[in-house]
Amino acid sequence: MDIQKQKTVEEDAWHPLKQFTAARIALGRTGNAIPLKELLKFRLAHAHARDAVYARLHSQELVQQLQQFNLPVYSLHSKAKDRNEYLLHPDLGRQLNDASVQLLQNRSASFDIVLILADGLSATAVNHHAVPLLQLLIPLLQESNFSIAITTAQQARVAVGDTTGSLMHAKLSLVLIGERPGLSAADSMGAYLTYNPTVGLTDESRNCISNIRPEGMDYAKAAAKIHYLITASFRLQYSGVLLKDEELDILEEKKKE
């Protein structure tokens, strides 16, 4: 037998379905093990996920990029002093440190919407995707006559938007945050909006749009979806489980007209 021509990897019956998903399916097998090529891909994806968890939010670079919007920008930090404390004590990531609280208390202006760029569990996601998304979203919000301020928040979790929004007397907070990395996506960004942000709210008070990145929900679709939910939230004066995404129903009705 010609060993060079012998097929060593046996394809999975689901192999044709791989073209429809980035999920780790239909890997095939070599004997009773997964092929070496797939094993190396898995280890690389795992390394990317770990790197994303420990990545640093490029706060200064983000602040410089945010100047293009000519909006107030504030740099904040949670009570978690570093990444290890952030991971070991989730409650600290939901609160602002004393210096950040003082900074927000010393300002006088109020805004309809405060945008919070938070590292979460993947600063990589926010470093890459926050500004491109805002370049599409902020013009939509300004056309709707919303007043806006922006903050960056290091070592922060979703609920830090409640404290920030409350201290800034904002009517709505929108947190753009790095999601927990997966083995097929280490740079997914989530958007959480909360109407009337107040300390102590729980997750049923928020609406979430997930997997914002070019390979997931692209920037244009995400900006349109967030704008739709924000305008609906202001009209109804609530957010969370009671606020339904009826945008597709509206589009279908328009098609019938």
Extract the annotated binding site for adenosylcob(III)alamin. Answer: 158, 179, 208
The alpha carbon torsion through 147, 177, 65, 186 (nearest 10 deg) reads -150
Find, among 25, 19, 154, the residue nearest to 95 by Cα. Answer: 154
Q: Record the tokens describing residue 205, joined without a space.
A: 């008070």
Of 178, 228, 193, 188, which Cα lies nearest the Cα of 212?
188
Backbone angles phi, psi at 107, to 5 degrees: -90, 155
Binding-site residues: 158, 179, 208
Give yes or no for a contact between 144 and 110, defined as CB atoms under 8 angstroms apart: no
Residue 212, beta-bridge partner list: 189, 217
Cα 206 to Cα 213: distance, rounded to the nearest angstrom: 21
Q: Can you tell me which residue has the tokens 């990395």? A: 181
Question: Could you tell me the two tokens for 222?
Answer: 């995400």
